[in-house]
Amino acid sequence: MRLIGLWTARTDLYVDEAQYWAWSQHLAWGYFSKPPFLAWMIAATEPVCGSTEACVRAPATLSWAATALAVSATAAILGGRKAAWWAGLGVLLAPGAAFSARIASTDAPLLMFWALAVLAFVRLRADGGRGWLALLAVSLGLGLLSKYAMVYLLACLAIAALVDPLSRKTLQRPAVWLALAAGLLIFSPNLVWNTLNGAVTFQHTADNARGEGLALDIGSGLEFIAAQFLLAGPVTMAVVAIAAARAPTLSRDQRLMLALSLPVLAALTVLAFLGRAHANWAATALIAAWVLSGLLFARWRLRIWPVAGLMVGLVFQGLLLVGDAQADRFTLFGSEPYQRVRGGAALSEAVAARARAEGVRTVIAETRTDAAQLTYYLRHTALKVRVWPAPPGQGPEHYYEMARALDASDTGHPGLLVTACPGISPVPGARPLPSVTVPTGPTGQRVRHLFVVPGDAESRPTPCRADARPGR
C-alpha cells in the first residue's frame, strides 16, 4: 500500500531527498553531511525502478517493512506470537513510521539495521550461533554507514549488561566482541574517507549538535517529549513510560528492552531541554520501545488501548496517503503543508526553457535548496547545475559548495543565475531576465529571479539575507 502511495503522490523531492539522489550518482564512502548507505540504496534501486520520485523514496518504504519484521521477530523470541503481533503492528502503524516510510531519509536504513542488530543480540543472548554473530556485525557496520547515531547501540548494550545477567553473559563471549569489532571494521572506510576529506561529515555532525550553544528551553523539551509520543504512537509511549516507572517489577526481557531504549530517550530529552535536540534524534530508542510495548500488551492482556493506538496510526496513514495524492490542492486550516515539496519540478522546467532561449548551458543556483532540486529535475537535460564557490578562506557550507562549485571548466561561457532574492546585487555585467513564478499549491507560489552572468565572472553576488533565502 505504501509503495502504491509513492506512485500516486503529487509531491516533488524535498531538498534533502534530491541531494541524496545526487549522491547516488557518484558513489563514495562518505558525503558532506551523512554516511553513504542511503545513497547506495538509491543507486541500487535505480537500475530496477528508475529515478522518479517514487523510486528514490522506495528504499525507505522497504526498509520500514524490514524493520517491522525484525521487531516482530524479536518480540516473538521474548514473548511469543501475541507479543510479536502487537509489536509488529505497532511499527507498521506508528505515525512516525507512516511519515518516514514515504520520504528518502537516513533514519529508515538506520532503524532497519538497529532492529536487525537487536534481533541478533537477543538470539545470541539465547545461545544463537554464528549466523547471528554475522548479522550483528553487518547490522552494526551498515547501521553506522547509514547514520552515526547507530553508535548509541554500543552504550545501550553496556547498560543492558548492568541490568540483565543474560546480556552480561552474552557480552562476555569473545565471539560477540569479535562481531562488534567486525562491525566497526565494516564502518572503517568511512573513517578513511573523512580523513582524506578534512573530516567534513564529522564536522558537520558536530556543528548540528552544537548549534548556537546550550540554554534551558522548557518549551523545546516539552515539544521533544510530545514528538516521541507522536512518532512511536501515544499508547505505545504511554505504556513504555509506565514500564519505566515500574522497572523493578519488569521481567529480565522487559528490562533489556528498557535498557535499549530509555538511555537514548533520557539523554536526548535532557539535550532537548537545553534547546539542542530534534525529534528524530531519538528514533533508535523506538525499536526497543515497540518490542517492549508488545511484550507488555501480551502480558497485561490489554485489548482496547492497543487497538485504539493502532487506529490512531491507521487514520494518520490514511490521511497521509490522501494528502500526498492531492498535494497540489491540499490545505489544512488555511495553510499549505506541502508547500516545501511542491514547485521544484515546475521551476526546473521554467529555468530549462529560459536557459535554452538564452543559449546557456550552466545554471548557477544561489542556495542549496535550488541546487538540489535543479540538479535532480534537470537530470535528463544537458544543463550543468553549479553553485558559487565558498568565499576565500572559508570551507564549504554544504555538499554543493564542496562538490559542484563553479570552477575553471565552467568559465568562458555565460551562466543563468537563479536566486530567491529580488534585491540581490548581481555580478558585474549580469543581465536581468523576467522572474519565474510557479505554483506550490492552491494559493502558494515560488518566485525566482534570473540573471545571465558572463562567463568570466570572478565574484559571487551579495549573499541572500537570512530571512529571504530558503532553508539550507
Pairing of strands 362-365, 415-419: parallel
Pair (372, 308) in one structural domain: no
Residues 258 and 403 in one domain: no
Q: Is the pLDDT of residue 397 over 70?
A: yes
CA angle 295, 281, 158 (to 5 degrees): 60
Q: Does residue 460 sit within a domain?
A: no
295, 368: one domain: no
* The pLDDT value given to residue 470: 40
Quick one: pLDDT at residue 210? 64
The reply to whether 120 falls in a domain is yes
Per the domain annotation, does 384 fall within a domain? Answer: yes
- Is the pLDDT at 379 greater than 70, yes or no? yes
460 pLDDT tier (thresholds 50, 70, 90): low
Whether 145 and 33 map to the same domain: the answer is yes
**Which of 298, 325, 352 is where one domain is finished?**
325
Q: What does the pLDDT look like over 14-40, one tens digit per residue?
A: 999 999 999 999 999 999 999 999 999
Assess whether 258 and 406 both reside in one domain.
no
Tell which of 325, 353, 373 closes a domain.
325
* pLDDT tens column, 124-147: 999 888 999 999 999 999 999 999
- The rounded percent of the chain whose pLDDT value lies above 90 is 73
Residue 182, Cβ neighbours under 10 Å: how many? Answer: 17
Domain annotation covers residue 429:
yes
Residue that the C-alpha cell 539495521 belongs to? 113
Q: Which domain holds residue 436?
A: 341-453
Residues 92-117: pLDDT tens digits? 999 999 999 999 999 999 999 999 99
Residue 385, φ and ψ in degrees, nearest 5: -105, 125
In this structure, are 357 and 421 located in the same domain? yes
What residue type is 335 in one-letter code? S
Any domain includes 332: no
Same-domain pairing of 66 and 187 = yes
Answer yes or no: is 470 within a domain: no
The reply to whether 105 falls in a domain is yes
Q: Are residues 246 and 270 in the same domain?
A: yes
Same domain, 316 and 393: no
Q: Is residue 393 part of a domain?
A: yes
- Does the pLDDT at position 471 exceed 70? no
Same domain, 163 and 222: yes
Say yes or no: 426 and 382 in one domain: yes
Together in a domain, 280 and 187: yes
For the chain, the domain total comes to 2
User: What average pLDDT does the structure give for the chain?
Assistant: 90
Average pLDDT over residues 5-19: 95
Task: Choose the final residue of a domain: 325, 349, 365.
Answer: 325
* pLDDT for the residue numbered 468: 43
